[in-house]
Amino acid sequence: MSIFDKRLKGVRAPHCKNTMDSATQKMPVPDKVYICMSQHMGPPCDVLVKPGDEVKVGQVIGDSGAFLSSPIHSSVSGKVTGIDQIIMPNGTRSKTVVIETDKEQTYHESVKKPEVTDRESFLKAVRGAGLVGLGGAGFPSHIKFNPKNLDEVDTLIINGAECEPYITSDYRTIMERGEDVMTGIQAVMKYLNIPTCIIGIEDNKPKGIARMQELAKGVPGVRVQSLVARYPQGAEKVLIFETTGRIVPEGKLPADVGCIVNNITTIAQLARFLKDGLPLIAKCVTVDGGAIAKPQNVQALIGTPIKEVVDFCGGYSKEPRKLLMGGPMMGTALYDETYPILKNNNAILAFDESQVEGYAETACIRCGRCVRSCPMNLMPLRIEDAFIKDDYQGLQDYKVNLCIECGCCAYSCPAKRHLVQTHRLAKARLRRWTQEQTAKEGGKG
């Protein structure tokens, strides 16, 4: 049986797109920025500057020789005043470059239009731009654009679904930077020799669909597809199935079924870099939630403390009960409002007491709602049971690694089981067990 039904499962979470018509407001340069060296999947970058150094906008201040990495640039001009450590939301520590700004925003000499003539120089430019998946995943774009089987890739899918409640930053990209989106798409299709592009947008954004359809007129191979507004429509594997009918098998990548998926804001940022050489130094974030005085979309320099972003939006109208980076379904709870804006940060949500109701976890009643809502056709209750029993074979049999951690199971569970957290822990435990088994087999040899 397919891991997908013909009809998308998921949940009908409230859209709460309160800021759809809020034009992006540009924040002033802060007095200090805190630029974290962990802003992508993979190992953190090494710090390339030291206290006392003068830096400029667009200067590389962090990089790594690791395969899964992306350079990090200074978002301001000023002086490095320290190399600190911050605790990431997942509990790990990351080095952070603290820069006292001079407010002049002087560009570094390296900020210039890149010379792109072929696939190799294009991929070099993508890496030089510091691009990662800006929808939240943070996967380095130059790696995504360079699969081993590129000659088998025939479809570029642009993710404009933005299915998480509250978030509208990608929608503002469509409305304000649609031309950049098309320019970026055409560049990718040209240099990677991909004949077809599908721009997927949920049908609760009719103006966005109409705008991209108008821009796509006369562009060979590009079409816009309206998607049913149902969470998690924008999840990579779900989006591939909904737009092409193709299924990404367990342990495989989108390129294995002929697709490359890219966030719509990432594509727009790529177009800008190809035009003027300015790397990723700022991010549009949606600031919303019951505790925010003036919800809106804000363009903030990377490294700006979240507290200053909230203050720009009028501060808190109520006492915040929970602060999230990202959406309410897959976002990360923050422990401190001094945490800085990252590359892949697309929203800051501050919920008040009425929006964060406490529920006690109770026993599973075997209602099956988690199964009916899972877009991957998994059985979350069975996975939880196998995890509790340390049943590693069961975790494999119930395909825990196919879980995309979308939260649909927990959202629909009347017993309020912590299923997403359990699945995340189960994956880690299964990974360690598999490594131990492999080591044992190697020892026998």
As a whole number of Å, the end-to-end CA separation of the chain is 37
The answer to whether residues 334 and 375 belong to one domain is no
Chosen domain end from 222, 248, 276: 276
pLDDT tens digits, one per residue of 79-105: 999 999 988 877 788 999 999 999 999
317 vs 67 pLDDT, higher one: 317
Confidence class of residue 3 from pLDDT cuts 50, 70 and 90?
very low
Within a domain: residue 53?
A: yes
* Mean pLDDT rounded to a whole number for the chain: 93
- Residues 412-427 have a mean pLDDT of 94
Within a domain: residue 15?
A: no
Can you give the chain as a three-state secondary structure string? CCCCCCCCCCECCCCCCCCCCCCCEECCCCCEEEEECCCCCCCCCEECCCCCCEECECCEEEECCCCCCCCEECCCCEEEEEEEEEECCCCCEEEEEEEEECCCCCECCCCCCCCCCCHHHHHHHHHHCCCECCCCCCCEHHHHCCCCCHHHCCEEEEECCCCCCCCCHHHHHHHHHHHHHHHHHHHHHHHHCCCEEEEEEECCCHHHHHHHHHHHCCCCCEEEEEECCCECCCCHHHHHHHHHCCCCCCCCCHHHHCEEEEEHHHHHHHHHHHHHCCCCCEEEEEEECCCECCCEEEEEECCCEHHHHHHHCCCECCCCCEEEECCCCCCEECCCCCCECCCCCCEEEEECHHHCCCCCCCCCCCCCHHHHHCCCCCCHHHHHHHHHCCCHHHHHHCCHHHCCCCCHHHHHCCCCCCHHHHHHHHHHHHHHHHHHHHHHHHHHC
- Residues 308-313 have a mean pLDDT of 98
Report the alpha-carbon distance of residue 366 to residue 32 in Å, rounded.
Answer: 52
pLDDT tens digits, one per residue of 123-167: 999 999 999 988 767 889 999 999 999 999 999 999 999 999 999
pLDDT tens digits, one per residue of 277-286: 999 999 999 9
The answer to whether residues 123 and 265 belong to one domain is yes
Report the alpha-carbon distance of residue 200 to residue 185 in Å, rounded.
Answer: 13
The answer to whether residues 318 and 188 belong to one domain is no
The answer to whether residues 172 and 247 belong to one domain is yes
pLDDT surpassing 60 at residue 445: no
Chosen domain end from 308, 331, 354: 354
The residue count for the chain: 445
The answer to whether residues 310 and 329 belong to one domain is yes
Cβ–Cβ < 8 Å for 292, 317:
yes
pLDDT surpassing 70 at residue 2: no
The answer to whether residues 216 and 135 belong to one domain is yes
- Cα 91 vs. chain centroid, distance in angstroms? 19
pLDDT surpassing 60 at residue 121: yes
The pLDDT value recorded for residue 441 is 77
The pLDDT value recorded for residue 144 is 94
218 vs 380 pLDDT, higher one: 380
Confidence class of residue 383 from pLDDT cuts 50, 70 and 90?
very high
Confidence class of residue 4 from pLDDT cuts 50, 70 and 90?
very low
The answer to whether residues 415 and 349 belong to one domain is no
Confidence class of residue 341 from pLDDT cuts 50, 70 and 90?
very high
pLDDT surpassing 90 at residue 5: no
Within a domain: residue 21?
A: no
pLDDT tens digits, one per residue of 163-208: 999 999 999 999 999 999 999 999 999 999 999 999 999 999 999 9
pLDDT surpassing 70 at residue 59: yes
Within a domain: residue 178?
A: yes
Within a domain: residue 19?
A: no
Report the alpha-carbon distance of residue 112 to residue 125 in Å, rounded.
Answer: 11
Structural domain total, the chain? 3
- Domain hosting 53: range is 27-111+279-354
The answer to whether residues 299 and 380 belong to one domain is no
The answer to whether residues 151 and 105 belong to one domain is no
Q: For residue 52, what are the CA distances in angstroms to 32, 74, 109, 364?
A: 14, 15, 19, 57
Confidence class of residue 440 from pLDDT cuts 50, 70 and 90?
confident
Within a domain: residue 73?
A: yes
pLDDT surpassing 80 at residue 6: no
pLDDT surpassing 60 at residue 7: no
Report the alpha-carbon distance of residue 24 to residue 19 in Å, rounded.
Answer: 10
The answer to whether residues 153 and 226 belong to one domain is yes
- Cα 13 vs. chain centroid, distance in angstroms? 19
The pLDDT value recorded for residue 92 is 83
Only one residue has tokens 């906008």, namely 57
Confidence class of residue 336 from pLDDT cuts 50, 70 and 90?
confident
Sign of the Cα pseudo-torsion (170, 132, 233, 213, in order): positive
Chosen domain end from 223, 258, 276: 276
pLDDT > 90 in the chain, percent:
87
Q: What CATH number does the domain containing 235 carry?
A: 3.40.50.11540
Cβ–Cβ < 8 Å for 295, 20:
no
pLDDT surpassing 90 at residue 437: no
